[in-house]
Protein backbone atom coordinates (compact mmCIF):
# COMPACT_ATOMS: atom_id res chain seq x y z
CA UNK A 1 0.00 0.00 0.00
CA UNK A 2 3.03 2.29 0.09
CA UNK A 3 2.56 2.75 -3.64
CA UNK A 4 -0.78 4.41 -2.99
CA UNK A 5 0.51 6.58 -0.17
CA UNK A 6 3.42 7.78 -2.28
CA UNK A 7 1.06 8.60 -5.19
CA UNK A 8 3.11 6.34 -7.44
CA UNK A 9 -0.05 4.52 -8.59
CA UNK A 10 -2.93 6.27 -10.31
CA UNK A 11 -5.55 3.64 -9.54
CA UNK A 12 -5.72 0.53 -7.41
CA UNK A 13 -8.51 -2.01 -7.08
CA UNK A 14 -8.39 -4.74 -4.46
CA UNK A 15 -10.92 -7.55 -4.25
CA UNK A 16 -11.10 -10.31 -1.71
CA UNK A 17 -13.08 -13.30 -2.93
CA UNK A 18 -14.02 -16.46 -1.05
CA UNK A 19 -14.34 -19.11 -3.73
CA UNK A 20 -16.08 -22.48 -3.17
CA UNK A 21 -13.93 -23.18 -0.13
CA UNK A 22 -10.92 -23.61 -2.39
CA UNK A 23 -9.01 -20.40 -1.88
CA UNK A 24 -8.97 -16.76 -1.03
CA UNK A 25 -7.98 -14.62 -3.97
CA UNK A 26 -6.42 -11.19 -3.60
CA UNK A 27 -6.17 -9.26 -6.83
CA UNK A 28 -4.28 -5.97 -6.99
CA UNK A 29 -4.30 -4.02 -10.25
CA UNK A 30 -2.48 -0.79 -10.83
CA UNK A 31 -1.18 1.25 -13.69
CA UNK A 32 1.98 -0.39 -14.93
CA UNK A 33 1.83 -3.51 -12.73
CA UNK A 34 -0.43 -6.40 -11.82
CA UNK A 35 -0.20 -8.59 -8.75
CA UNK A 36 -2.18 -11.71 -7.94
CA UNK A 37 -1.89 -13.40 -4.56
CA UNK A 38 -3.71 -16.73 -4.16
CA UNK A 39 -3.87 -18.48 -0.79
CA UNK A 40 -5.13 -22.05 -1.10
CA UNK A 41 -6.92 -23.88 1.66
CA UNK A 42 -6.26 -27.13 -0.17
CA UNK A 43 -3.06 -26.90 -2.30
CA UNK A 44 -3.77 -30.15 -4.15
CA UNK A 45 -7.22 -29.06 -5.28
CA UNK A 46 -6.08 -25.50 -5.66
CA UNK A 47 -3.47 -26.08 -8.33
CA UNK A 48 -6.05 -27.07 -10.93
CA UNK A 49 -8.02 -23.87 -10.26
CA UNK A 50 -5.19 -21.51 -11.15
CA UNK A 51 -5.85 -21.45 -14.94
CA UNK A 52 -9.57 -20.89 -14.37
CA UNK A 53 -9.01 -18.08 -11.90
CA UNK A 54 -6.50 -16.37 -14.14
CA UNK A 55 -8.92 -16.62 -17.03
CA UNK A 56 -11.32 -14.38 -15.13
CA UNK A 57 -8.80 -11.58 -14.78
CA UNK A 58 -8.85 -8.93 -17.51
CA UNK A 59 -5.50 -8.89 -19.20
CA UNK A 60 -4.53 -12.27 -17.76
CA UNK A 61 -3.06 -15.08 -19.80
CA UNK A 62 -6.52 -16.25 -20.92
CA UNK A 63 -7.47 -14.47 -24.15
CA UNK A 64 -10.64 -12.39 -23.94
CA UNK A 65 -13.10 -11.13 -26.49
CA UNK A 66 -12.71 -7.33 -26.43
CA UNK A 67 -16.45 -6.64 -26.68
CA UNK A 68 -18.02 -9.10 -24.23
CA UNK A 69 -15.08 -10.02 -22.01
CA UNK A 70 -15.75 -13.71 -22.63
CA UNK A 71 -13.01 -16.15 -23.55
CA UNK A 72 -12.09 -16.67 -27.18
CA UNK A 73 -12.11 -19.70 -29.46
CA UNK A 74 -8.39 -20.18 -28.73
CA UNK A 75 -9.14 -20.68 -25.03
CA UNK A 76 -11.76 -23.32 -25.86
CA UNK A 77 -9.25 -25.16 -28.02
CA UNK A 78 -6.48 -24.93 -25.42
CA UNK A 79 -8.38 -25.58 -22.20
CA UNK A 80 -11.33 -27.63 -23.41
CA UNK A 81 -9.54 -31.01 -23.43
CA UNK A 82 -8.39 -30.54 -19.84
CA UNK A 83 -11.89 -29.61 -18.66
CA UNK A 84 -13.36 -32.65 -20.42
CA UNK A 85 -10.80 -34.93 -18.79
CA UNK A 86 -11.38 -33.49 -15.32
CA UNK A 87 -15.14 -33.93 -15.52
CA UNK A 88 -14.73 -37.51 -16.75
CA UNK A 89 -12.24 -38.34 -13.99
CA UNK A 90 -14.75 -37.02 -11.45
CA UNK A 91 -17.39 -39.39 -12.82
CA UNK A 92 -19.43 -36.67 -14.50
CA UNK A 93 -20.20 -35.44 -17.99
CA UNK A 94 -19.47 -32.28 -19.94
CA UNK A 95 -21.76 -30.45 -22.33
CA UNK A 96 -20.71 -28.19 -25.18
CA UNK A 97 -23.43 -25.71 -26.11
CA UNK A 98 -23.32 -23.66 -29.31
CA UNK A 99 -25.63 -20.64 -29.42
CA UNK A 100 -26.79 -18.55 -32.36
CA UNK A 101 -29.01 -15.50 -31.77
CA UNK A 102 -32.28 -15.40 -33.73
CA UNK A 103 -33.54 -11.85 -34.07
CA UNK A 104 -30.08 -10.32 -33.84
CA UNK A 105 -30.05 -9.31 -37.50
CA UNK A 106 -33.29 -7.35 -37.01
CA UNK A 107 -31.67 -5.30 -34.25
CA UNK A 108 -28.66 -4.53 -36.44
CA UNK A 109 -30.85 -3.63 -39.41
CA UNK A 110 -33.19 -1.42 -37.39
CA UNK A 111 -31.04 0.19 -34.69
CA UNK A 112 -27.53 -0.18 -36.05
CA UNK A 113 -24.39 -2.00 -35.01
CA UNK A 114 -24.03 -0.07 -31.74
CA UNK A 115 -27.31 -1.57 -30.53
CA UNK A 116 -26.19 -4.96 -31.81
CA UNK A 117 -23.05 -4.67 -29.69
CA UNK A 118 -25.19 -3.93 -26.63
CA UNK A 119 -27.15 -7.13 -27.30
CA UNK A 120 -23.95 -9.17 -27.54
CA UNK A 121 -22.62 -7.70 -24.29
CA UNK A 122 -25.89 -8.45 -22.47
CA UNK A 123 -26.08 -12.02 -23.80
CA UNK A 124 -22.47 -12.54 -22.74
CA UNK A 125 -23.24 -11.18 -19.27
CA UNK A 126 -26.26 -13.46 -18.84
CA UNK A 127 -24.39 -16.51 -20.10
CA UNK A 128 -21.47 -15.90 -17.75
CA UNK A 129 -23.82 -15.35 -14.80
CA UNK A 130 -25.70 -18.59 -15.54
CA UNK A 131 -22.64 -20.86 -15.38
CA UNK A 132 -20.19 -21.70 -12.63
CA UNK A 133 -16.54 -20.79 -12.35
CA UNK A 134 -15.70 -24.36 -13.35
CA UNK A 135 -17.43 -23.74 -16.71
CA UNK A 136 -16.22 -21.85 -19.76
CA UNK A 137 -18.06 -19.13 -21.72
CA UNK A 138 -16.74 -18.26 -25.19
CA UNK A 139 -17.65 -15.83 -27.92
CA UNK A 140 -16.84 -17.52 -31.22
CA UNK A 141 -17.48 -14.44 -33.34
CA UNK A 142 -20.46 -12.50 -34.64
CA UNK A 143 -23.55 -13.61 -32.73
CA UNK A 144 -22.23 -17.13 -32.02
CA UNK A 145 -21.28 -18.27 -28.53
CA UNK A 146 -20.10 -21.51 -26.95
CA UNK A 147 -20.40 -22.77 -23.39
CA UNK A 148 -18.54 -25.73 -21.93
CA UNK A 149 -20.35 -26.85 -18.78
CA UNK A 150 -20.14 -29.78 -16.39
CA UNK A 151 -22.84 -31.95 -14.84
CA UNK A 152 -23.37 -35.31 -13.17
CA UNK A 153 -25.10 -36.80 -16.22
CA UNK A 154 -26.68 -35.99 -19.58
CA UNK A 155 -30.09 -35.29 -18.03
CA UNK A 156 -28.61 -32.63 -15.78
CA UNK A 157 -26.89 -31.00 -18.75
CA UNK A 158 -30.14 -30.97 -20.70
CA UNK A 159 -31.90 -29.30 -17.76
CA UNK A 160 -29.14 -26.69 -17.54
CA UNK A 161 -29.58 -26.05 -21.27
CA UNK A 162 -33.31 -25.44 -20.82
CA UNK A 163 -32.64 -23.10 -17.88
CA UNK A 164 -30.06 -21.21 -19.89
CA UNK A 165 -32.44 -20.88 -22.83
CA UNK A 166 -35.09 -19.39 -20.53
CA UNK A 167 -32.62 -16.88 -19.11
CA UNK A 168 -31.18 -15.80 -22.44
CA UNK A 169 -34.64 -15.47 -24.03
CA UNK A 170 -35.73 -12.71 -21.63
CA UNK A 171 -36.41 -9.48 -23.58
CA UNK A 172 -33.60 -6.96 -23.94
CA UNK A 173 -34.55 -3.29 -23.70
CA UNK A 174 -33.02 -1.06 -26.36
CA UNK A 175 -34.02 2.58 -26.89
CA UNK A 176 -37.14 2.15 -24.74
CA UNK A 177 -38.27 -0.87 -26.77
CA UNK A 178 -38.12 -4.50 -25.63
CA UNK A 179 -36.54 -6.82 -28.18
CA UNK A 180 -36.92 -10.59 -28.19
CA UNK A 181 -33.55 -12.17 -28.98
CA UNK A 182 -34.07 -15.93 -28.75
CA UNK A 183 -31.06 -18.21 -29.10
CA UNK A 184 -30.99 -21.50 -30.94
CA UNK A 185 -28.85 -23.94 -28.96
CA UNK A 186 -27.14 -27.15 -29.95
CA UNK A 187 -26.00 -29.38 -27.07
CA UNK A 188 -23.37 -32.09 -27.49
CA UNK A 189 -22.61 -34.26 -24.45
CA UNK A 190 -19.18 -35.70 -23.72
CA UNK A 191 -18.46 -38.55 -24.16
CA UNK A 192 -21.81 -39.63 -25.69
CA UNK A 193 -21.77 -37.27 -28.69
CA UNK A 194 -18.02 -36.90 -29.16
CA UNK A 195 -14.67 -37.53 -27.49
CA UNK A 196 -12.79 -34.40 -28.55
CA UNK A 197 -13.56 -30.70 -28.63
CA UNK A 198 -13.61 -30.82 -32.42
CA UNK A 199 -16.10 -33.68 -32.49
CA UNK A 200 -18.31 -31.95 -29.93
CA UNK A 201 -18.26 -28.67 -31.87
CA UNK A 202 -19.30 -30.46 -35.05
CA UNK A 203 -22.10 -32.35 -33.28
CA UNK A 204 -23.36 -29.26 -31.44
CA UNK A 205 -23.25 -27.17 -34.61
CA UNK A 206 -25.41 -29.65 -36.49
CA UNK A 207 -27.83 -29.78 -33.56
CA UNK A 208 -27.94 -25.98 -33.36
CA UNK A 209 -28.91 -25.79 -37.03
CA UNK A 210 -31.82 -28.15 -36.42
CA UNK A 211 -32.85 -26.27 -33.28
CA UNK A 212 -33.86 -23.32 -35.46
CA UNK A 213 -36.86 -25.30 -36.73
CA UNK A 214 -37.63 -26.95 -33.39
CA UNK A 215 -40.29 -25.61 -30.99
CA UNK A 216 -37.88 -26.35 -28.12
CA UNK A 217 -35.21 -24.04 -29.62
CA UNK A 218 -32.51 -26.47 -28.51
CA UNK A 219 -31.53 -29.90 -29.76
CA UNK A 220 -29.08 -32.71 -29.17
CA UNK A 221 -27.46 -34.60 -32.07
CA UNK A 222 -29.30 -37.82 -31.23
CA UNK A 223 -32.60 -36.43 -32.52
CA UNK A 224 -31.42 -34.06 -35.17
CA UNK A 225 -32.71 -33.76 -38.68
CA UNK A 226 -29.45 -34.96 -40.21
CA UNK A 227 -30.04 -38.38 -38.71
CA UNK A 228 -33.64 -38.55 -39.88
CA UNK A 229 -33.43 -37.22 -43.42
CA UNK A 230 -30.12 -38.69 -44.55
CA UNK A 231 -28.57 -35.38 -45.64
CA UNK A 232 -26.02 -34.83 -42.88
CA UNK A 233 -22.24 -34.47 -43.31
CA UNK A 234 -21.60 -38.21 -43.00
CA UNK A 235 -24.17 -39.03 -45.67
CA UNK A 236 -22.78 -36.28 -47.89
CA UNK A 237 -19.27 -37.71 -47.57
CA UNK A 238 -20.67 -41.09 -48.62
CA UNK A 239 -22.46 -39.42 -51.54
CA UNK A 240 -19.13 -38.02 -52.71
CA UNK A 241 -17.63 -41.49 -52.63
CA UNK A 242 -20.61 -42.93 -54.54
CA UNK A 243 -20.55 -40.15 -57.18
CA UNK A 244 -24.09 -39.00 -56.35
CA UNK A 245 -23.38 -35.27 -56.77
CA UNK A 246 -23.92 -33.30 -59.96
CA UNK A 247 -23.23 -29.73 -61.05
CA UNK A 248 -25.71 -27.45 -62.80
CA UNK A 249 -24.68 -24.23 -64.51
CA UNK A 250 -26.46 -20.87 -64.44
CA UNK A 251 -25.44 -18.30 -67.07
CA UNK A 252 -24.28 -14.73 -66.54
CA UNK A 253 -24.72 -12.24 -69.38
CA UNK A 254 -23.57 -8.80 -70.41
CA UNK A 255 -26.53 -6.44 -70.14
CA UNK A 256 -25.36 -4.24 -73.01
CA UNK A 257 -24.30 -6.76 -75.67
CA UNK A 258 -26.19 -9.87 -74.57
CA UNK A 259 -22.96 -11.91 -74.68
CA UNK A 260 -22.71 -14.86 -72.28
CA UNK A 261 -19.76 -13.96 -70.04
CA UNK A 262 -19.76 -16.85 -67.60
CA UNK A 263 -21.50 -19.64 -65.72
CA UNK A 264 -21.89 -20.27 -62.00
CA UNK A 265 -21.38 -23.90 -60.94
CA UNK A 266 -24.11 -24.95 -58.49
CA UNK A 267 -23.93 -28.34 -56.81
CA UNK A 268 -26.92 -30.69 -56.54
CA UNK A 269 -27.29 -34.03 -54.77
CA UNK A 270 -28.91 -36.88 -56.70
CA UNK A 271 -30.17 -38.57 -53.54
CA UNK A 272 -31.04 -42.27 -53.97
CA UNK A 273 -34.25 -41.92 -51.94
CA UNK A 274 -35.27 -38.25 -52.16
CA UNK A 275 -34.35 -37.35 -55.71
CA UNK A 276 -32.49 -34.21 -56.76
CA UNK A 277 -31.74 -32.05 -53.70
CA UNK A 278 -30.97 -28.34 -53.84
CA UNK A 279 -27.97 -27.13 -51.81
CA UNK A 280 -30.10 -25.39 -49.17
CA UNK A 281 -30.95 -28.85 -47.83
CA UNK A 282 -27.39 -30.00 -47.20
CA UNK A 283 -24.82 -27.21 -47.61
CA UNK A 284 -25.42 -25.28 -44.34
CA UNK A 285 -24.49 -28.33 -42.25
CA UNK A 286 -21.71 -29.32 -44.62
CA UNK A 287 -20.10 -25.90 -44.19
CA UNK A 288 -19.84 -26.59 -40.47
CA UNK A 289 -18.00 -29.87 -40.94
CA UNK A 290 -14.80 -31.19 -42.46
CA UNK A 291 -16.63 -32.53 -45.53
CA UNK A 292 -16.93 -29.00 -46.98
CA UNK A 293 -13.26 -29.05 -48.04
CA UNK A 294 -13.73 -32.32 -49.94
CA UNK A 295 -16.93 -31.03 -51.53
CA UNK A 296 -15.25 -27.78 -52.62
CA UNK A 297 -12.38 -29.68 -54.24
CA UNK A 298 -14.84 -31.96 -56.04
CA UNK A 299 -16.89 -29.06 -57.44
CA UNK A 300 -13.72 -27.27 -58.54
CA UNK A 301 -12.52 -30.36 -60.38
CA UNK A 302 -15.89 -30.91 -62.03
CA UNK A 303 -16.25 -27.27 -63.11
CA UNK A 304 -12.74 -27.11 -64.58
CA UNK A 305 -13.34 -30.36 -66.47
CA UNK A 306 -16.63 -29.00 -67.86
CA UNK A 307 -15.34 -25.55 -68.81
CA UNK A 308 -14.14 -26.44 -72.34
CA UNK A 309 -17.63 -27.74 -73.14
CA UNK A 310 -19.20 -24.58 -71.70
CA UNK A 311 -16.93 -22.45 -73.85
CA UNK A 312 -18.12 -24.21 -76.99
CA UNK A 313 -21.54 -22.66 -76.33
CA UNK A 314 -20.11 -19.39 -74.96
CA UNK A 315 -16.58 -18.63 -76.21
CA UNK A 316 -14.46 -16.88 -73.60
CA UNK A 317 -16.89 -17.63 -70.74
CA UNK A 318 -15.60 -18.07 -67.20
CA UNK A 319 -16.84 -20.52 -64.59
CA UNK A 320 -17.48 -19.47 -60.98
CA UNK A 321 -17.31 -21.86 -58.03
CA UNK A 322 -18.70 -21.00 -54.59
CA UNK A 323 -16.37 -21.27 -51.60
CA UNK A 324 -17.01 -20.20 -48.02
CA UNK A 325 -14.33 -18.24 -46.18
CA UNK A 326 -14.76 -20.63 -43.26
CA UNK A 327 -14.16 -23.68 -45.43
CA UNK A 328 -11.02 -22.18 -46.95
CA UNK A 329 -9.27 -21.67 -43.65
CA UNK A 330 -6.77 -24.35 -42.72
CA UNK A 331 -7.27 -26.22 -46.00
CA UNK A 332 -4.89 -26.96 -48.86
CA UNK A 333 -7.03 -24.93 -51.27
CA UNK A 334 -4.22 -23.08 -53.04
CA UNK A 335 -2.17 -26.24 -53.56
CA UNK A 336 -5.21 -28.24 -54.67
CA UNK A 337 -6.28 -25.47 -57.02
CA UNK A 338 -2.87 -25.24 -58.64
CA UNK A 339 -2.86 -29.00 -59.21
CA UNK A 340 -6.41 -28.99 -60.63
CA UNK A 341 -5.60 -26.14 -63.01
CA UNK A 342 -2.53 -27.99 -64.24
CA UNK A 343 -4.42 -31.25 -64.73
CA UNK A 344 -7.33 -29.61 -66.55
CA UNK A 345 -5.11 -27.30 -68.63
CA UNK A 346 -7.59 -24.50 -67.98
CA UNK A 347 -6.29 -20.94 -67.80
CA UNK A 348 -6.56 -19.62 -64.25
CA UNK A 349 -8.15 -16.37 -65.46
CA UNK A 350 -11.13 -18.43 -66.67
CA UNK A 351 -11.91 -19.48 -63.07
CA UNK A 352 -13.68 -17.26 -60.53
CA UNK A 353 -13.82 -18.14 -56.83
CA UNK A 354 -17.03 -16.71 -55.39
CA UNK A 355 -16.82 -16.10 -51.63
CA UNK A 356 -20.21 -16.93 -50.16
CA UNK A 357 -19.87 -14.67 -47.10
CA UNK A 358 -21.10 -11.19 -48.06
CA UNK A 359 -18.37 -9.51 -45.98
CA UNK A 360 -15.37 -11.74 -45.28
CA UNK A 361 -13.20 -10.43 -42.46
CA UNK A 362 -9.87 -9.05 -43.60
CA UNK A 363 -7.76 -11.23 -41.32
CA UNK A 364 -4.16 -11.96 -42.25
CA UNK A 365 -5.16 -15.51 -43.20
CA UNK A 366 -8.05 -14.43 -45.44
CA UNK A 367 -6.03 -11.66 -47.05
CA UNK A 368 -3.11 -14.01 -47.71
CA UNK A 369 -5.37 -16.64 -49.21
CA UNK A 370 -7.14 -14.18 -51.51
CA UNK A 371 -3.83 -12.69 -52.61
CA UNK A 372 -2.65 -16.23 -53.35
CA UNK A 373 -5.70 -16.78 -55.56
CA UNK A 374 -4.99 -13.55 -57.40
CA UNK A 375 -1.34 -14.55 -57.82
CA UNK A 376 -2.51 -17.77 -59.47
CA UNK A 377 -4.52 -15.65 -61.86
CA UNK A 378 -8.00 -16.58 -60.59
CA UNK A 379 -10.79 -14.06 -60.24
CA UNK A 380 -12.24 -13.38 -56.78
CA UNK A 381 -15.88 -12.38 -56.31
CA UNK A 382 -18.00 -11.70 -53.21
CA UNK A 383 -21.75 -12.21 -53.26
CA UNK A 384 -24.58 -10.79 -51.19
CA UNK A 385 -23.68 -7.11 -51.35
CA UNK A 386 -26.52 -4.99 -50.07
CA UNK A 387 -27.43 -7.35 -47.22
CA UNK A 388 -27.10 -6.17 -43.62
CA UNK A 389 -23.72 -7.84 -43.17
CA UNK A 390 -21.99 -6.11 -46.08
CA UNK A 391 -19.69 -3.15 -46.23
CA UNK A 392 -17.81 -1.59 -49.12
CA UNK A 393 -14.95 -1.26 -46.65
CA UNK A 394 -14.28 -4.93 -47.40
CA UNK A 395 -13.31 -3.97 -50.96
CA UNK A 396 -10.74 -1.54 -49.65
CA UNK A 397 -9.38 -4.05 -47.13
CA UNK A 398 -9.38 -6.93 -49.64
CA UNK A 399 -7.94 -5.59 -52.90
CA UNK A 400 -7.88 -9.10 -54.39
CA UNK A 401 -11.68 -8.90 -54.73
CA UNK A 402 -12.47 -7.70 -58.25
CA UNK A 403 -16.21 -8.42 -58.44
CA UNK A 404 -19.27 -8.05 -56.23
CA UNK A 405 -22.71 -9.58 -56.71
CA UNK A 406 -25.64 -7.51 -55.49
CA UNK A 407 -27.90 -9.40 -53.08
CA UNK A 408 -30.95 -10.90 -54.88
CA UNK A 409 -33.41 -9.40 -52.38
CA UNK A 410 -32.10 -5.93 -53.14
CA UNK A 411 -32.07 -6.61 -56.88
CA UNK A 412 -35.70 -7.70 -56.84
CA UNK A 413 -36.75 -4.62 -54.84
CA UNK A 414 -35.03 -2.02 -57.01
CA UNK A 415 -37.92 -1.57 -59.46
CA UNK A 416 -40.45 -0.64 -56.76
CA UNK A 417 -38.46 0.67 -53.79
CA UNK A 418 -36.74 4.09 -54.09
CA UNK A 419 -34.49 3.31 -51.12
CA UNK A 420 -33.31 0.10 -52.77
CA UNK A 421 -32.61 2.04 -55.95
CA UNK A 422 -30.58 4.67 -54.07
CA UNK A 423 -28.59 1.98 -52.28
CA UNK A 424 -27.83 0.19 -55.53
CA UNK A 425 -26.78 3.45 -57.15
CA UNK A 426 -24.33 4.17 -54.32
CA UNK A 427 -22.91 0.64 -54.34
CA UNK A 428 -22.44 0.57 -58.11
CA UNK A 429 -20.81 4.00 -58.11
CA UNK A 430 -18.42 3.07 -55.29
CA UNK A 431 -17.52 -0.27 -56.87
CA UNK A 432 -16.84 1.31 -60.25
CA UNK A 433 -14.62 3.87 -58.54
CA UNK A 434 -12.56 0.97 -57.17
CA UNK A 435 -12.53 -0.73 -60.59
CA UNK A 436 -14.65 -3.58 -59.20
CA UNK A 437 -17.10 -5.31 -61.52
CA UNK A 438 -20.77 -5.40 -60.42
CA UNK A 439 -23.16 -8.28 -61.13
CA UNK A 440 -26.89 -8.18 -60.33
CA UNK A 441 -27.92 -11.61 -59.06
CA UNK A 442 -31.48 -12.91 -58.87
CA UNK A 443 -32.87 -10.97 -61.86
CA UNK A 444 -36.45 -12.00 -62.61
CA UNK A 445 -37.93 -9.19 -64.74
CA UNK A 446 -36.89 -7.08 -67.72
CA UNK A 447 -37.86 -3.97 -65.74
CA UNK A 448 -35.21 -4.85 -63.14
CA UNK A 449 -32.59 -5.16 -65.87
CA UNK A 450 -33.63 -1.79 -67.29
CA UNK A 451 -33.44 -0.03 -63.88
CA UNK A 452 -30.07 -1.49 -62.91
CA UNK A 453 -28.58 -0.92 -66.33
CA UNK A 454 -29.57 2.72 -65.94
CA UNK A 455 -27.62 2.81 -62.67
CA UNK A 456 -24.50 1.51 -64.39
CA UNK A 457 -24.71 -2.22 -63.71
CA UNK A 458 -23.76 -4.18 -66.80
CA UNK A 459 -23.80 -7.86 -65.80
CA UNK A 460 -26.84 -9.94 -64.88
CA UNK A 461 -27.74 -13.39 -63.59
CA UNK A 462 -31.11 -14.88 -62.67
CA UNK A 463 -34.09 -16.94 -63.75
CA UNK A 464 -35.16 -14.33 -66.32
CA UNK A 465 -32.01 -15.12 -68.27
CA UNK A 466 -31.66 -18.81 -67.52
CA UNK A 467 -32.12 -21.28 -64.69
CA UNK A 468 -29.33 -23.67 -63.61
CA UNK A 469 -29.16 -26.63 -66.01
CA UNK A 470 -26.99 -29.75 -66.39
CA UNK A 471 -24.00 -29.55 -68.69
CA UNK A 472 -25.73 -31.45 -71.49
CA UNK A 473 -28.52 -28.83 -71.59
CA UNK A 474 -26.26 -25.77 -71.80
CA UNK A 475 -26.02 -25.88 -75.60
CA UNK A 476 -29.82 -25.92 -75.93
CA UNK A 477 -30.11 -22.96 -73.58
CA UNK A 478 -27.44 -21.05 -75.52
CA UNK A 479 -29.35 -21.53 -78.79
CA UNK A 480 -32.56 -20.23 -77.23
CA UNK A 481 -30.68 -17.28 -75.72
CA UNK A 482 -29.29 -16.19 -79.07
CA UNK A 483 -32.87 -16.07 -80.37
CA UNK A 484 -34.59 -14.47 -77.35
CA UNK A 485 -31.86 -12.72 -75.36
CA UNK A 486 -32.31 -9.25 -76.80
CA UNK A 487 -36.02 -9.27 -76.00
CA UNK A 488 -35.46 -10.44 -72.42
CA UNK A 489 -32.87 -7.74 -71.83
CA UNK A 490 -35.20 -5.10 -73.23
CA UNK A 491 -32.69 -4.00 -75.85
Q: What range defines the domain where residue 183 resides?
A: 64-229
- Indicate the pLDDT class of residue 156, thresholds 50, 70 and 90: confident
Would you give the DSSP letter of residue 456? T
- Indicate the pLDDT class of residue 16, thresholds 50, 70 and 90: very low
Final residue of a structural domain among 207, 229, 251: 229
Q: Does position 169 have pLDDT exceeding 70, yes or no?
A: yes
Helix (H) or strand (E) run with residue 52 in it: helix 50-55
Residue 182 has a pLDDT of: 87
Examine the domain organization and report whether 57 and 99 are in the same domain: no
Torsion of Cα atoms, 240 then 218 then 118 then 171, to 10°:
150
Give strand pairing partners of 254.
Answer: 459
- Indicate the pLDDT class of residue 76, thresholds 50, 70 and 90: very high
Q: Mapping DSSP to helix (H, G, I), strand (E, B) and coil, where does residue 140 land?
A: strand
Examine the domain organization and report whether 16 and 137 are in the same domain: no
**How many other CB atoms sit within 10 Å of the CB of residue 444?**
15
Name the residue with higher pLDDT: 431 or 268: 268
Examine the domain organization and report whether 281 and 194 are in the same domain: no
Q: Does position 470 have pLDDT exceeding 90, yes or no?
A: yes
Task: Give the mean model confidence (pLDDT) for residues 454-475.
Answer: 95
- Burial of residue 81 (number of CB atoms within 10 Å: 0-12, 13-18, 19+): middle
Residue 13 has a pLDDT of: 35
pLDDT digits (tens, 9 = 90+) for 185-205: 999 999 988 999 999 999 999
Examine the domain organization and report whether 432 and 288 are in the same domain: yes
Peptide linkage before 191 cis (omega within 30 of 0)? yes
Examine the domain organization and report whether 457 and 370 are in the same domain: yes
**How many other CB atoms sit within 10 Å of the CB of residue 328?**
21
Examine the domain organization and report whether 22 and 78 are in the same domain: no
Examine the domain organization and report whether 191 and 117 are in the same domain: yes
Q: Does position 155 have pLDDT exceeding 90, yes or no?
A: no
Q: Does position 400 have pLDDT exceeding 70, yes or no?
A: yes
DSSP secondary structure string for all residues of 215-271? TTSEE-GGG-HHHHHS-SHHHHHHHHHTT-EEEEEEEEEETTT--EEEEEEEEEEEE
Query: Which range has the top average pLDDT, 168-177, 213-222, 233-242, 352-361?
Result: 233-242
Task: Give the mean model confidence (pLDDT) for residues 46-62.
Answer: 50
Task: Give the mean model confidence (pLDDT) for residues 441-455.
Answer: 94
Examine the domain organization and report whether 198 and 267 are in the same domain: no
Q: Cα-atom radius of gyration of the chain, to the nearest Å?
A: 26
Q: What is the CATH number of the domain that holds 96?
A: 3.30.70.270
Final residue of a structural domain among 21, 46, 62: 62
Q: Does position 408 have pLDDT exceeding 80, yes or no?
A: yes
Q: What is the CATH number of the domain that holds 398?
A: 3.20.20.450
Q: Does position 261 have pLDDT exceeding 90, yes or no?
A: yes
Examine the domain organization and report whether 171 and 208 are in the same domain: yes
Q: What is the tally of structural domains in the chain?
A: 3
Query: Which range has the top average pLDDT, 270-274, 408-412, 460-464?
Result: 460-464
Examine the domain organization and report whether 249 and 144 are in the same domain: no
Mean pLDDT of the chain: 82
Examine the domain organization and report whether 179 and 238 are in the same domain: no
Nearest-angstrom CA–CA distance, 398 and 396: 6
Q: Given the DSSP bridges, would you call strands 437-441 and 459-461 parallel, antiparallel or unpaired?
A: parallel
Phi-psi region of 224 (alpha: psi -120 to 50; beta: other; left: phi over 0): beta
- Indicate the pLDDT class of residue 482, thresholds 50, 70 and 90: very high
- Burial of residue 127 (number of CB atoms within 10 Å: 0-12, 13-18, 19+): buried
Residue 33 has a pLDDT of: 40
Final residue of a structural domain among 62, 89, 112: 62
Nearest-angstrom CA–CA distance, 359 and 339: 28
Q: Which of 325, 372, 376 is nearest to 349 (CA)?
A: 376
Examine the domain organization and report whether 134 and 258 are in the same domain: no
Q: Given the DSSP bridges, would you call strands 459-461 and 245-254 parallel, antiparallel or unpaired?
A: antiparallel
Amino acid sequence: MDAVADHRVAALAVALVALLGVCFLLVARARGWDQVVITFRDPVRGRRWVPRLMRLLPGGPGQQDPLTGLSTREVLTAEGPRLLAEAEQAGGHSGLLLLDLDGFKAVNDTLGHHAGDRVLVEIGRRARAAIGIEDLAVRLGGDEFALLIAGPDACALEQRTEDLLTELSQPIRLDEVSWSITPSIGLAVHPDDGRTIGELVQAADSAMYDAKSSPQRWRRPGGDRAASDGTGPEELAEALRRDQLVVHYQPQVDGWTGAVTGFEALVRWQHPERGLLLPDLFLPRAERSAVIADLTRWVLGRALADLPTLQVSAPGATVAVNVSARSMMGTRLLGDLGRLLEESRVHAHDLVLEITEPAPRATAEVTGLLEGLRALGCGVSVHGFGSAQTSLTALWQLPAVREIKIDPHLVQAVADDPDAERLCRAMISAARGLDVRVVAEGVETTETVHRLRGLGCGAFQGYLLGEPVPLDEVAGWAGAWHREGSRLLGR
